[in-house]
Structure 1
């Protein structure tokens, strides 16, 4: 097995929205805001090369939205999903599986592209199976008012229409082992219904793709919960349990949204779980 970090683009979001009720004077220490009160964020995907499978976890925002749409997120840097894949020696048609942690636009936008005539949409990865779960799919296709702006039909419905969609079965056990994809999946419900967090056994390590359970290293303290989360108190308890397990088992936490800290470990302290070490992707993968 080989793992590759795939940078799908950098953007910015309002720091207050990213940290909920936590005052700026606190979160600004770890995630400094610009003059517009926005903080640097990444869309860092993970590519798993495992035998004859090439599994892409999340796809970033993509490039099919309008300039006005992207203007809200102040895109920066030169990263692009397709170019990042090419840098690793792969093309879109090489991808066998696309695993979507959840269907918010910054995680699944790259999964669907314009067709050649720009009259409609098509899946970006023609030869891939797209993985979601039925609970989350129904949640996203019949969105609540709070999340409606994050679930864009053009990012979601073409996947089902293509016939490439498959559901991972949810169980009463929050952590399952998906034998076909060869990694564990943790289901969490605080950010959105049935977000999926991959746990990958790699060499002698467990790499956890944290998605929006832990967006950045600055979100480690328990009260640091995004304003975007639909069930913030549930996020708090899910994060508490997850971080304790991460410290106990020395998980390597792959941060999808942290523009400056790629992979971290955490440790138990008198103040609770805190940051231990920071690694670049080249140190670990």
Structure 2
């Protein structure tokens, strides 16, 4: 199994929204804000080259970033575009879009699912899945949540990002079909949004957890550091406690989707709770 990170950031989000009730005097030490109170974040995806149970090659992409099909007003809210695209990142990693066999969408918020779909023509009249041969994976309850979004999340579930996946026939639900890849287990949490999936990956004697938006950055490792975007923040704290405890006990490597500088980290128990132990590029750990 070979694992690479693909980075299609940076983009910007409000610092207060990213840290919830944590005071700015604390979070700005690690994530300084600009004059609009926006902090810089990454759009980090994983690319996993492996085989399934029958020995068939599989190339999995975990999340797809924002993409580039939204209008200038929308993109301007997040200081996009930034000159980086997901197709370029895949090609720079040595693959074509047709090589990707599976796309795991941790959840369907625009900054995770936006790159799953692209304009099919120069006139921007028709949308199509970005990866023509891939199976796209989501949980059926997350899909239902996106189809009838609550008022809190309505602005982040964009139908143009996800309906073409259903219409193409390339969408499968991970709770109804087996992924069928040894070494990859899909875990589910409900604090950030309904049935967000996190791939837990076993490779070369190591356990990696792609944390999605349960722990979006190394700065969010302390349990009270919960995003204002979360629909069930108290549940997020319970879920963080559960998985951080396992990460300490079983020496997991955590991979962060939004940390602007830190791709991965190990954690340890301290007098103040679980904290980052070692951090750096993913390649240095595996």
Answer whether TM exceeds 0.5 for this pair: yes
Is the partner of 2:70 in helix, strand or coil?
Answer: coil
Identify the residue that residue 234 of structure 1 maps to in structure 2. Answer: 235
What number of residue pairs does the alignment pair up? Answer: 279
Identify the residue that residue 174 of structure 1 maps to in structure 2. Answer: none
1:256 & 1:76 partners in 2: Cα distance?
18
**TM superposition shift of 1:82:** 1.1
Question: Pick from 136, 143, 151: which aligns with 1:145?
Answer: 151
Identify the residue that residue 109 of structure 1 maps to in structure 2. Answer: 114
1:8 and 1:79 in contact (8 A); partners too: yes
TM-score, with length taken from structure 2 = 0.94
**TM superposition shift of 1:143:** 0.4
Identify the residue that residue 201 of structure 2 maps to in structure 1. Answer: 200
2:43 and 2:111 in contact (8 A); partners too: yes
1:75 & 1:65 partners in 2: Cα distance?
10
1:155-208 CA distance string (max 9 Å, x none): 0111000000011117xxxxxx95347401110000000000100011121111
2:101 matches 1:100? no
Alignment of 1:19-168 (within 5 A): 19-51=19-51, 52-75=57-80, 77-116=82-121, 117-168=123-174
2:281 matches 1:284? no
**TM superposition shift of 1:284:** 2.6
1:284 & 1:276 partners in 2: Cα distance?
13
2:58 & 2:191 partners in 1: Cα distance?
31
**TM superposition shift of 1:277:** 0.4
1:9-51 CA distance string (max 9 Å, x none): 2101000000001110011112111222111101110001003
Q: 1:222 to 1:184 in 2, by over 3 A?
A: same
Alignment of 1:252-267 (within 5 A): 252-267=253-268
1:98-127 CA distance string (max 9 Å, x none): 010000000000000111141121111000
**Aligned-CA RMSD value:** 1.4
2:251 & 2:32 partners in 1: Cα distance?
28
**TM superposition shift of 1:281:** 2.5
1:111 and 1:124 in contact (8 A); partners too: yes
2:280 & 2:36 partners in 1: Cα distance?
29
1:247 & 1:74 partners in 2: Cα distance?
36
Is the partner of 2:42 in helix, strand or coil?
Answer: strand
1:178 & 1:48 partners in 2: Cα distance?
14
**TM superposition shift of 1:152:** 0.1
1:124-158 CA distance string (max 9 Å, x none): 10000000011110001110010000000000111
2:267 & 2:30 partners in 1: Cα distance?
15
- Unpaired runs of at least 5, structure 1: 171-176
1:43 & 1:30 partners in 2: Cα distance?
18
